[in-house]
Amino acid sequence: MMATVTAPKLQIIEPDQVILPEVSWETYRRLRDAVGNDSIRMIYLDGTLTLMSPALRHDRPSRLLEQLVRGVAAGLGMKLMSIGSATLRRAEVPGGGVGKEPDIAFYLGDDERRMRLREDLDLAADPPPTLAIEIDNTRNSAPALTVYARLGVPEVWRYSVSKRSIWMGRLDGSTYQEVARSVALPKLTPALVREALDRFQVGDFDDNDWFEWVKVWIRALAEN
């Protein structure tokens, strides 16, 4: 039977975002694993559960950035495994823990080789994704970085929908520090990611055409 939360505890932060305080780890786990909740994104951080239902303005940038990472990895000959929005979670102190669905996440290089044949993800034993990408279109996205840091994700990108800008951070202790160049995909800088996204907007590409353009573009950058 699914656990319930009383209405007075609800905090509606955005039209597509609700926060539930005082949610146990077991309740979060049961809610997350319930088949009927597959379309709901959740962030769990030490008893606070955020529920989200992504809109097109959120999902479209995530799909483009996934295409970009795939194209760059293919152009550079890097091993890549996308895990999409698979749930990342880990219980910590009794009754607590962290959990989240990234907008997109990837294993790259040696991490891909280790995870290639895995059907289930256990972050108590498996490495975290090499790179996670977060689409930021709310006023309450800060907890996401805390969750990623606690999970040990080494690199996170945040794309601002309103500003159409990209931020890259590397894990340094328990927080992320902004970096000028990706470590996961060393040729990429925030400016180059924005350049590629802008090219999609003006290039009259469909997704397939743009993917091919990205591979050619990154190879030319690698040769310089």
Of 120, 81, 72, the residue nearest 104 (C-alpha):
81
Per the DSSP assignment, residues forming a β-bridge with 157 are 133, 168
Helix (H, G, I), strand (E, B) or coil at 62: helix
Cα atoms found within 13 Å of the Cα of residue 166, Cβ hemisphere only: 25
Q: The whole model's pTM is what? A: 0.88
Fold adopted by 55-223: tt1808, chain A (3.90.1570)
Res 4 pLDDT > 70? no
Model confidence over 117-159: pLDDT tens digits?
888 899 989 999 999 999 987 655 678 999 999 999 999 999 9
Model confidence over 89-106: pLDDT tens digits?
999 877 689 999 999 999
Here the tokens at position 154 are 């080494």
Residue 43: its pLDDT value, please? 94
Domain ranges of the chain: 55-223
Residue 9: its pLDDT value, please? 55
Q: How far is Cα of residue 109 from the mean position of the Cα atoms in its chain?
A: 18
